[in-house]
């Protein structure tokens, strides 16, 4: 990691299948902390070379930190997963970038020598805990006009982004959304997404047990005609729809971060090598532009340019937000380097969990494309922020990064 004495690597990342939120969603009868536990246990099972007692920290993110997502979930989930009681843990909240921040937090600790090995993750059960549950915004936000009222409703911030950049039309957003669905379907057909998943035993409303082993949200075969018929819930005659946005979802993610020398000594294979990261603030009412300054900042820290990046994993909270990023950096809407396995519009966006989902997709791309040297994971964040992490491919063979 640039500026630090130790190289930090991600050696594994996986997630539960994502579900649709609500009373009919597959995780309606499943606790949020049990989703995290399933991920932590699977990380340990898949990496038997890693002694659990050698884990120095567990950082788990959740946007709504109450109920079964509360109780310092990094610590409580670690205990529930069977980690030694000597392994500490804590919770993280940076809204959509929770898991991303959990990763950068523990990676920074590894970089300065505070840790050797750490687990990071994120969870969101939006069916049990809708966005904003229990929140009491300070009245000064509106009374003193510190933020526009739209800043507190993510869908309205996406409509504002369409206003700011009129050339980012609904037609472009719908076309991007249809492509995300198609790429996700293709990735499933190739078996590339399934290998990143941990199956979860779940109960239905009648108490019967079944297995969650694929994502629930994708809609294969989505057409532009069907997307064009959808209503615009955030504004009459608007441009943001349920079809060109990520849905409300439930799910959990997790990753193992290790100092590279320690990983090699334990026989763990690096899948991503951390180069730099950055977070940036923007106007809250157009939070979707956040990935742009965050990426510019991370590139400066790494001494790289956008032309050095061979793969982009951009969280698709809204299609317009991705399009704004692509336009800013001169990338085509259908650039093959961008979200080649599809993204959140198809597979879902359980808020604080999504950052590591991006990393698992990038790691899979790095494994099958050794000619690619650098990639990035980036996302917009509620209340006007963006986050970007730049990674190097440990499998890089010296070929072109394009």
CB 122 within 8 A of CB 352: yes
The sign of the dihedral angle between the CA atoms of 325, 326, 329, 335 is: positive
**Does residue 308 sit in helix, strand or coil?**
helix
The token pair at 230 is 């959808």
Instruction: Give Cβ neighbours of residue 369 (< 8 Å, ≥ 6 apart).
Output: 310, 311, 393
Distance of CA 317 to the CA centre of its chain: 10
The residues that bridge with 209 in the sheet, in sequence order, are: 203
CB 387 within 8 A of CB 103: no
- Residue 190 is encoded by which pair of tokens? 């190739």
Distances (CA, A) of 209 to 26, 27, 294, 383: 11, 12, 43, 39
Instruction: Establish whether 349 is a catalytic residue.
Output: yes
From the list 96, 125, 162, 369, the catalytic residue is 96
Beta strands at 117-125 and 249-259: parallel, antiparallel or unpaired: antiparallel
The one-character DSSP state at 50 is S
> What is the H or E stretch that residue 272 is in?
strand 272-281
Catalytically annotated residue among 125, 162, 369, 380: 380
Is residue 79 within 8 Å of residue 87, measured between CB atoms? no
360: left (phi over 0), alpha (psi -120 to 50) or beta: alpha
d(CA 119, CA 127): 25
Q: Which of 129, 162, 349, 369 is catalytic?
A: 349
Look up residue 228 and give its two tokens. Answer: 């064009």
Q: How many CA atoms lie within 13 A of 127 on its CB side?
A: 18
Tokens of 162: 């369409």
125 given a catalytic annotation: no
With H, G, I as helix, E, B as strand and everything else as coil, classify residue 276.
strand
Residues labelled catalytic: 96, 349, 380
């Amino acid at each position: 990691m640039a500026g630090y004495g130790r190289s930090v690597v991600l050696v594994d990342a996986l997630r539960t299948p994502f579900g649709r939120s609500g009373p009919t969603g597959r995780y309606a009868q499943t606790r949020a902390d049990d989703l995290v536990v399933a991920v932590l246990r699977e990380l340990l099972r898949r990496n038997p070379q890693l002694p659990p007692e050698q884990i120095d920290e567990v950082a788990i993110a959740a946007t709504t930190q109450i109920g079964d997502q509360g109780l310092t979930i990094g610590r409580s989930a670690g205990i529930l997963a069977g980690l030694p009681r000597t392994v500490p843990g804590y919770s993280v909240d940076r809204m959509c970038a929770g898991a991303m921040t959990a990763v950068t937090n523990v990676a920074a600790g590894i970089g300065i020598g505070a840790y050797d090995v750490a687990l990071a993750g994120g969870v969101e059960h939006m069916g049990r805990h809708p966005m904003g549950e229990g929140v009491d915004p300070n009245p000064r936000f509106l009374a003193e006009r510190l933020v526009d009222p739209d800043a507190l409703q993510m869908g309205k911030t996406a409509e504002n982004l369409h206003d700011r950049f009129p050339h980012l039309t609904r037609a472009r957003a719908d076309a991007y959304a249809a492509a995300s669905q198609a790429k996700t379907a293709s990735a499933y057909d190739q078996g590339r997404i399934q290998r990143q998943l941990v199956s979860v035993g779940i109960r239905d409303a009648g108490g019967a047990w079944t297995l969650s082993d694929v994502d629930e949200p994708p809609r294969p075969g989505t057409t532009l005609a069907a997307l064009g018929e959808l209503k615009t819930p955030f504004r009459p005659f608007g441009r943001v729809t349920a079809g060109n946005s990520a849905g409300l979802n439930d799910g959990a993610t997790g990753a193992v971060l290790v100092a590279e020398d320690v990983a090699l000594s334990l026989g763990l294979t690096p899948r991503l090598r951390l180069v730099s990261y950055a977070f940036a603030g923007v106007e809250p009412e157009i939070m979707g532009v956040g990935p742009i300054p965050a990426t510019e900042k991370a590139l400066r820290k790494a001494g790289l340019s956008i032309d050095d990046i061979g793969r982009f994993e951009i969280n698709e909270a809204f299609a317009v937000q991705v399009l704004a990023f692509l336009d800013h950096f001169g990338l085509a809407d259908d650039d093959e380097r961008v979200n080649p396995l599809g993204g959140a519009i198809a597979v879902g966006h359980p808020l604080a969990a999504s950052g590591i989902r991006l990393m698992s997709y990038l790691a899979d791309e790095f494994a099958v494309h050794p000619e690619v040297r650098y990639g990035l994971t980036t996302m917009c964040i509620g209340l006007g922020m963006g986050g970007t992490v730049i990674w190097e491919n440990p499998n890089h063979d010296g070929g072109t990064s394009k």
